[in-house]
Amino acid sequence: MEYVIEMNHITKVFGNFKALDDVTLKVKKGEIHALLGENGAGKSTLMSVLFGLYQAEKGEIKINGNQVQINNPNDANNLNIGMVHQHFKLVHNFTVLESIVLGRETVKAGFLKKDDARKKVIALSDRYKLKIDPDAYIADITVGMQQRVEILKMLYCDSDILIFDEPTAVLTPQEIEELMKIMKELVKEGKSIIFISHKLNEIKEVADRCSVLRKGKYIGTVEVASTTKEEMSEMMVGRKVNFNIEKTDLPTGNAVLEVKNLTIKAKNSNKNVVNNVSFAAKKGEILCIAGIDGNGQSELVYGITGLMPLNEGKILLNGKDVTKESIRKKCLDGMAHIPEDRHKHGLVLDFDLQENAVLQTYYESRFQRHGFIKFNAVREYAKKLIKQYDIRSPREEDSVVRNMSGGNQQKVIIARELDRNPEIVIAVQPTRGLDIGATEYIHKQLIAQRDQGKAVLLVSLELDEVMNVSDRIIVIYEGEIVADLNPKEITVQELGLYMSGVERSVNYEKKA
């Protein structure tokens, strides 16, 4: 069997850090080849080498059996290699058609000739069953359609080798299914696909073979059909992973956080990004807000925590009205917030670990006297957190947080928030961008909070997380709550229908 891509013994070094160490990747023609690995395993680096963004120190690349030198993305394009990036690279005020032809415009005497392009795009979209509206603006179409635009863009350049970099991260289950179909269709038409992912279910469903990377090293390539998920995850992580989150049933208690008729208007328009939302998070439960990114969940949390002004509504914490309270007061009342963007809100990156550990408590008498910081107390406190929450960093409490790994940065925030012994923990995508080990740890911590009888409000885009960790799910769609579900009684597909706004629970009928 001939390989379309052979990357042999690739080594890529940054400074004295080996990002790729003797990695080999061979992709057969007409297959979907999964590239599996944790964050930082070197998947993206390997693809960047293939795409000409980096040059490897050692190793060779063969395309269709011929050795090639890929110096920049243009070389890659000329070799018919195309890539759909995780974060789409589209111009929002362009139409679909304009976006597809961008960089390869058909021109006559310097004027755009869109008709030829339109014909070709429509032909491609029919052939590969990629439904698009060529005249819609990128800003107005769904994420799923944006992805189809990206795929068409590759096909428009006659790419034969398609790289999908974590394509499912932003999609609903229905859109994921659609994408899987498209991928299979593409392969049938003779394309070859490299599918980068760390989601084993998807690899299992769509890929033919799977190559695993771990910490820049090549672990092996397996036939997906004859390998179990457990085996693949062990290859990826290097140890056995427990997929089932252990959780006992708990009776729920009184409501800790009550949100009543909350409405938040968008900054620059009259649209309600959060529209008349009411719910209650009770003691001893993990309440999950599920929804596709951008449906108002971020604003909802900003509103509750005080980072964004409310237009209407009430927030009660243990029965006390905290709607008008300052962020600090809410914090003192027992609200902990693990923010969505840990670099923007959660940490002062150029402060060291100790300084970040006391970000909300530096003014308490245990850390200051007459306005002077008690440095020893702060240091001891940081040491305690490091020990208790297993925070790992090169220089312990003196580490500048910027130089710490993402998982440990997140641990700093979690340690700081949970150690305040809050009544409610509001965690927004707490495991985003983290590897399996760190994810497991954070889930355990959240469950421990719940087991102590605290309330946890979890906002997540990851369906696995939503289904496995939560005790109750409320679904948010376009700023409104559309369903209140029990994770044990529904399937991922059903959840997807609510998330994409196709269905609504009876109790949550749209008000006329």
Q: How many CA atoms lie within 13 A of 427 on its CB side?
A: 35
Binding mask 223-262 for another protein (x = CB under 8 A): --------------xx------------------------
Angle, helices 436-451 vs 229-237, to 10°: value is 100
From candidates 59, 437, 453, 501, binder to another protein by CB under 8 A = 437
Residue 268 found at the interface with another protein (CB under 8 A):
no
> Could you count the other beta carbons within 10 Å of the beta carbon of residue 46?
27
Beta strands 472-477 and 480-485 are: antiparallel
Cβ(281)–Cβ(256) below 8 Å: yes
Residue 363 found at the interface with another protein (CB under 8 A):
yes
Q: Give the single-character DSSP code of 432.
A: T
Alpha-carbon distances of 493 from 1, 207, 249, 458, 499, rounded to whole Å: 38, 21, 24, 20, 10
Cβ(356)–Cβ(412) below 8 Å: yes
Nearer to another protein, 92 or 392 (CB): 392
CB 342 to another protein: min, Å: 9
Residue 327 found at the interface with another protein (CB under 8 A):
yes
From candidates 359, 377, 490, 492, binder to another protein by CB under 8 A = 359
d(CA 464, CA 306) in angstroms, rounded, equals 29
From candidates 122, 321, 394, 421, binder to another protein by CB under 8 A = 394
Cβ(474)–Cβ(484) below 8 Å: yes
The alpha carbons of the chain give a radius of gyration, in whole angstroms, of 25
From candidates 404, 447, 467, 473, binder to another protein by CB under 8 A = 404
Nearer to another protein, 30 or 437 (CB): 437
Closest CA to 446 of 423, 463, 469: 469
Residue 360 found at the interface with another protein (CB under 8 A):
yes
Q: Which of residues 79-118 bind another protein (CB under 8 A)?
A: none
Residue 11 found at the interface with another protein (CB under 8 A):
no
CB 324 to another protein: min, Å: 15
Q: Count of residues binding another protein (CB under 8 A)? A: 57
Q: Which of residues 119-178 bind another protein (CB under 8 A)?
A: none
The strand pairing partners of 455, in sequence order, are 424
Does residue 138 sit in helix, strand or coil? Answer: helix
CB 357 to another protein: min, Å: 11
Closest CA to 417 of 466, 457, 375: 457
Interface region with another protein, contact rule CB under 8 A, candidates 122-130, 195-203, 253-261, 432-440: 432-440
Nearer to another protein, 288 or 391 (CB): 391
Phi, psi of 42, deg, nearest 5? 110, 5
Residue 407 found at the interface with another protein (CB under 8 A):
yes
The strand pairing partners of 270, in sequence order, are none
Nearer to another protein, 362 or 508 (CB): 362
Residue 57 found at the interface with another protein (CB under 8 A):
no
First to last CA, the chain: 61
**How many residues appear in the chain?**
512
Interface region with another protein, contact rule CB under 8 A, candidates 116-124, 165-173, 347-355, 489-497: 347-355
Interface region with another protein, contact rule CB under 8 A, candidates 69-77, 199-207, 271-279, 390-398: 390-398
Nearer to another protein, 123 or 327 (CB): 327
Nearer to another protein, 333 or 484 (CB): 333
Cβ(451)–Cβ(248) below 8 Å: yes
CB 331 to another protein: min, Å: 5
Closest CA to 150 of 84, 104, 102: 84
Binding site for another protein (CB under 8 A): 14-17, 19, 38-40, 215, 237-238, 305, 307, 326-331, 337, 339, 344-351, 355, 359-360, 362-363, 367-368, 371-373, 392-395, 398, 400, 402-405, 407-408, 411, 435-438, 441
